Amino acid sequence: MEQDKNTDFGFEQVAWQDKARRVRGVFDSVASRYDVMNDLMSGGAHRLWKRYVLSLTNLKPGDRALDVAGGTGDLSIGMSRQVGPTGLVLLTDINAAMLAAGRDRLINRGLVQNIECLQANAECLPFADASFDCVTIGFGLRNVTDKARALRSMQRVLKPGGQLLVLEFSKPVSPALGELYDLYSFKVLPQLGRWVARDADSYRYLAESIRRHPDQETLLTMMQDAGLADCRYYNLTGGIVAVHRGFRR
């Protein structure tokens, strides 16, 4: 039973039912500085990674898209341009603070015509079957307690022929790059969190959560097990980040 299970919260083992609360605490803390920290942590590369995801969506004017764990809305903003005024993008996040930051950002940009915001859990999305042409989740899957359940939920809400795109940190393909990445993640990143977001612990968790996340091949198998077809992945920046892609039959 789930209440008797443990799961990882970074390198720490916590009760299965407690992870969502702990993750919520992390993002409550970092929400106000999330975008600034993304630019600092990645040297702006996260913008290129998200642009690559947007190049794969195949969205057309009038389509419907779902951005799961969309936070401050980078992917939602891009997809809103793709679906146009006759389409719809739903920006969802389980964390109220992150969703509020995303909604404020959209309003400040005047993007209210074809984007709606909704607090929702990736593991049990509150949408009908076959509702969306494309579903994205960017840097959110590793924070989900039951990743397999979330993948099944996202597969369920896709229209036949629709696709899921998962953008997430992954495993560097070069051992030398992996060593440099570890040094950066566990030495530099917490210091950036302390100086900029006044929260070293949350950014230490984020680094640890990356190491606990399934590698490229494992996530590929999980997507296939969730019922997605023609699954593949694309390594970016030497495998530090990967985009996984799968379609609903």
CATH value at residue 152: 3.40.50.150
In a domain, 195, yes or no: no
> What is the pLDDT at residue 4?
63
Q: Determine the pLDDT at residue 1.
A: 47
What's the total number of domains in the chain?
Answer: 1
What is the value of pTM for the model shown? 0.92
Flag whether 191 is in a domain: no
Burial 84-104 (b: 16+ CB within 10 A, else e): eeebbbbbbbbbebbbbbbbe
Q: What is the pLDDT along the chain (249 residues), one digit of tens a residue?
A: 455 688 877 778 778 888 888 878 777 777 777 777 777 778 889 999 999 999 999 999 999 999 999 998 999 999 999 999 999 999 999 999 999 999 999 998 888 889 999 999 999 999 999 999 999 999 999 999 999 999 999 999 999 999 999 999 999 999 999 999 898 888 887 787 787 667 778 778 888 888 889 999 999 999 999 999 999 999 999 999 999 999 999
With respect to residue 45, please indicate whether it lies within any of the assigned structural domains.
yes
Is 136 within 8 Å of 53 (Cβ atoms)?
Answer: yes
213 domain residue, yes or no: yes
In a domain, 127, yes or no: yes
Taking phi over 0 as left and psi of -120 to 50 as alpha, with beta for the rest, 208 belongs to alpha
CA dist 232 and 220 (Å) reads 7
Name the nearest CA neighbour of 165 among 37, 46, 75, 105.
75
**Domain extent at residue 104:** 2-174+203-248
Inter-residue contact 101 to 34 (CB < 8 Å): yes
Residue 180 is assigned to a structural domain of this protein: no
Residues of the chain with pLDDT > 90, as a percent, come to: 65
In a domain, 197, yes or no: no
- On whether residue 226 sits in a domain, the answer given is yes
Distance between CA atoms of residues 63 and 85, nearest Å: 10
